[in-house]
Amino acid sequence: MKSEVTLRQFRYFIAAATSGQFSAAALSEHVSQSAITSAVQSLESQLRVRLFDRLPHGVVLTAEGQIFFHHARHVVDSVNDAMRHSTLRTQTVAGTIRVAATYTVLGYFLPDLLSRFKHSYPQVEIDLVDMDRPVMEQALDAQSIDLGIGLLSNVADPDRYGHYLLVRSRRRVWAGAAHPLARHQVASLAQIAEYPYILLTVDDADTAAAAHWPRGREALKIAMRTSSLEAVRGLVAYGFGVSILSDLVYRPWSLEGRKIVAIPIADPVAPMDVGMLWPREREPEGLVDVFRQFLIQACDYDTEMRGAATAARPVAPR
């Protein structure tokens, strides 16, 4: 007789997938490592697929595991939203919110949250615009948008605006499975600089990469520059170079099905901060505040699920 799949197994699997280590997942879920291992093995047995590749420095999702991860996250998120729904306002909420988002946020962070918000507030329309950071800041100054969602770590002076940190994502070095760095449990910035570097140029990623080294770009052997994250993924997977990017956009496979390994960095490396910005002179209210509070609650819960080292904290405008 097949045993039942439980929400707890989903939680443990998601924690392992997002942390990349069964031991880290156990710490974030406050259980023994054997509980995480048992939950994953039970899921693998019932699904009859291998969800993780076990590596010397942790685990990475297989192609099947990546597909299951998205389904599992959807299940857990739906349950969480359903539990929160009982505290939501019962009257009909309708109207339009003007929101701008940057490339990384729009492609790798916001779609699932927007879908969940629309499920809870079907009468609210979101006028969503893709903007790079400088244009978004101009729109906030002109108050032509209600909220901007982007990389706070790239905003020169976030205190010009009201803002809230939603997610803090660590950065690791990406390498192809056959790359020499893939054999290391951790890599130093000096080691990384020895190899050709694939430089992502979108969303100020090139500026962030240069900031990891005191000498800036002079320390890098830049092999290629591209504004396409999928191009970076493919070039890294085929061994053309390495790149330092955040876990928020990490996937263990390129579009061609080649494996990518993310290796922790021994030296201090600033994380990537994703958050909301709004005009300093206009504190969000009404529908805008409903949307803001939804994102805060959803991301605080997701951060807890991931066992993140640093939870999101509100930063009040001065």
DSSP state of 178: T
Residue 89 has pLDDT above 70, yes or no: no
3-state secondary structure (DSSP) of residue 130: strand
φ/ψ (deg, to 5) at 105: -65, -45
What's the length of the chain?
318
Query: CA-CA distance, 318 to 315, in Å (whole number)?
Result: 9
pLDDT per residue over 271-296, tens digit each? 999 999 998 878 888 899 999 998 99
Residue 188 has pLDDT above 60, yes or no: yes
Note whether 225 and 201 are within 8 A (CB). Answer: yes
What average pLDDT score do residues 27-39 get? 89
Query: Which residues of the chain form beta strands (DSSP E)?
Result: 52-55, 58-61, 95-101, 124-130, 147-151, 162-169, 171-176, 196-200, 221-226, 243-246, 260-263, 272-278, 314-315
First to last CA, the chain: 61
Is the model more confident about 280 or about 315? 280
Residue 160's pLDDT band, with cuts at 50, 70 and 90, is confident
Residue 197 has pLDDT above 80, yes or no: yes
Note whether 238 and 175 are within 8 A (CB). Answer: no
Is the model more confident about 86 or about 120? 120
Domains 91-167+272-311 and 171-263 alike in fold: yes
What local confidence, expressed as pLDDT, does residue 245 receive?
Answer: 96
- Domain 91-167+272-311: assigned CATH number: 3.40.190.10
Please tell us whether the domain made up of 7-83 is placed in CATH 1.10.150.20.
Answer: no
Note whether 276 and 164 are within 8 A (CB). Answer: yes
What average pLDDT score do residues 43-58 get? 86
Residue 85 has pLDDT above 80, yes or no: no
CA distances in angstroms from 59 to 17, 63, 239, 270, 305, listed in the order given: 8, 13, 20, 23, 18
What local confidence, expressed as pLDDT, does residue 225 receive?
Answer: 95
Out of 43-57, 122-136, 180-194, 300-314, which region has the weakest mean confidence (pLDDT)?
300-314
φ/ψ (deg, to 5) at 104: -65, -45
What average pLDDT score do residues 250-264 get? 89
Q: What is the number of other CB atoms lying within 10 angstroms of the CB of residue 49? A: 14
In 192-228, which positions are buried (b, 16+ CB within 10 angstroms) versus exposed (e)?
bbebebbbbebbbbbebbbebbeeeeebbeeeeebee
Query: CA-CA distance, 44 to 42, in Å (whole number)?
Result: 5
DSSP state of 307: T
What local confidence, expressed as pLDDT, does residue 1 receive?
Answer: 43
Is the model more confident about 92 or about 206? 206
Is beta strand 272-278 parallel, antiparallel or unpaired with respect to 147-151? antiparallel
| pLDDT over 90, % of the chain | 47
Residue 126's pLDDT band, with cuts at 50, 70 and 90, is very high
Q: Is the dihedral of CA 15, 17, 18, 24 positive or negative?
A: positive
What average pLDDT score do residues 90-105 get? 84
pTM of the model: 0.72
Note whether 97 and 106 are within 8 A (CB). Answer: no
What local confidence, expressed as pLDDT, does residue 202 receive?
Answer: 92
Query: CA-CA distance, 86 to 66, in Å (whole number)?
Result: 31
Out of 1-15, 213-227, 249-263, which region has the weakest mean confidence (pLDDT)?
1-15
Query: CA-CA distance, 220 to 204, in Å (whole number)?
Result: 16
Note whether 179 and 242 are within 8 A (CB). Answer: yes
Mean pLDDT across the chain, nearest whole number?
Answer: 85
Query: CA-CA distance, 26 to 37, in Å (whole number)?
Result: 9
Please tell us whether the domain made up of 171-263 is placed in CATH 3.40.50.1370.
Answer: no
Nearest to 278 by CA among 184, 105, 137: 137
What are the sequence ranges of the domains in the chain?
A: 7-83, 91-167+272-311, 171-263
What local confidence, expressed as pLDDT, does residue 65 receive?
Answer: 85
Is beta strand 171-176 parallel, antiparallel or unpaired with respect to 196-200? unpaired
